[in-house]
Amino acid sequence: MNTQDMHAKPPPQAAADWTIDQNWAVYQAEEHARWTRLHERQMQILPGRACDAFLAGLEALDLHGEGIPDFRHLNRQLEAISGWTIVAVPGLIPDIVFFEHLANRRFPAGNFIRSEAEFDYIEAPDVFHDVFGHVPLLTNPVFADYMQAYGKGGLRALSFNSLDALARLYWYTVEFGLISTADGPRIYGAGILSSPAESSYCLQSPSPNRLRFELRRVMQTRYRIDDFQETYFEISDFQDLFDATAQDFAPIYHALEAAPSHAPGDILESDDILQRGDHSYRAGSHLPSSA
């Protein structure tokens, strides 16, 4: 669906805010088993690659891979920790609805799980990408506040017609962000955390650029939705990310209107380069990650 269509109507079984019942009781045994296999595959590679806050979130929410979680149970734990709740949706929802949920500490998660044929890659966010990839970090208080600030910023951006800039910020942080630690870069982006191939590629391949996160630079940089990222932006810590969104975006939006956007693999004079990629990875030569 076109998420920028503000007049799209929710499907018949959904409420006006596009939420549906998760209907946890109807998941088939092989769907629960698929969740478990996806979880186990990721946990083979994420320790040592995922950031501590993500791994701590899995523990805090008892997400140990025993089948598709029941949002009712998960929400009791998540709400007690950070005031966030998960709401089930049938798939992508309009931007304005998505931002409205985030602005109210509600995370929209697909209630469907990918098919066996999509085991390695799914275009639309399914329950594994959303709940395994995104939800654990909502137990981190600063990141939880960032996600709410992002939602509020999104609602403001709608009036500036600056959704591109905001979607890029989401893409290069919430979906594909890296964070610096004493032991080197670690992953916090859900699009990487839910993808086996990109979890190793983003930290080990010489191909991609790694640049220090800078808000306007990120908002000016286009992204790929069907392949590994050519550039990863690395924050120092979640407070750094939250502070970046605390400012008023209006002046940035005006500056961006005139400025040209950058290609995903570009490096600028002004960039703080952490890795200058050699772009040895040929686009399309591998399964992309789910976004």
| Binding-site entries for Fe cation | 129, 134, 175
| Among Fe ion, ligand HBI, none, residue 89 binds (CB under 5-8 Å by kind) | ligand HBI
Q: What is the x/- site pattern for Fe ion, positions 90-129, by CB under 5 A?
A: -----------------------------------x----
CB 75 within 8 A of CB 56: no
Q: What is the DSSP string of 33-100?
A: HHHHHHHHHHHHH-TTTB-HHHHHHHHHTT-SSSSSPPHHHHHHHHHHHHS-EEEEESS---HHHHHH
Residue list, annotated binding site: 129, 134, 175
Minimum gap (Å) between residue 134 Cβ and Fe ion: 6
Distance between alpha carbon 202 and the CA centroid of its chain, in Å?
15
Minimum gap (Å) between residue 115 Cβ and ligand HBI: 18
Map the footprint of Fe ion across residues 180-239, applying CB under 5 A.
190
Minimum gap (Å) between residue 190 Cβ and Fe ion: 5
Residue 5 vs 278, nearer CB to ligand HBI:
5
Residue 18 vs 27, nearer CB to ligand HBI:
18
Number of H helices, E strands in the chain: 12, 7
Distance between alpha carbon 64 and the CA centroid of its chain, in Å?
20
Residue 273 is encoded by which pair of tokens?
Answer: 């380069």
Residue 82 vs 253, nearer CB to Fe ion:
82
Minimum gap (Å) between residue 224 Cβ and ligand HBI: 14
Tell me the Ramachandran region of residue 290: left when phi exceeds 0, alpha when psi lies from -120 to 50, beta otherwise: beta
Minimum gap (Å) between residue 155 Cβ and ligand HBI: 11
Neighbour tally for 8: CB within 10 Å:
16
| Among ligand HBI, Fe ion, none, residue 219 binds (CB under 5-8 Å by kind) | none
| Among Fe ion, ligand HBI, none, residue 108 binds (CB under 5-8 Å by kind) | ligand HBI
What are the DSSP E strand ranges found in the chain?
85-89, 106-110, 178-181, 184-187, 209-212, 231-235, 273-275
Residue 170 vs 201, nearer CB to ligand HBI:
170
CB 96 within 8 A of CB 175: no
Q: What is the x/- site pattern for Fe ion, positions 136-175, by CB under 5 A?
A: ----------------------------------------
Tell me the Ramachandran region of residue 18: left when phi exceeds 0, alpha when psi lies from -120 to 50, beta otherwise: left
Q: Say how many residues touch Fe ion, by CB under 5 A.
A: 2
Minimum gap (Å) between residue 12 Cβ and ligand HBI: 17
- Where along the sequence are the contacts to ligand HBI (CB under 6 A)? 3, 89, 92-93, 95, 98, 108, 125, 166-167, 170
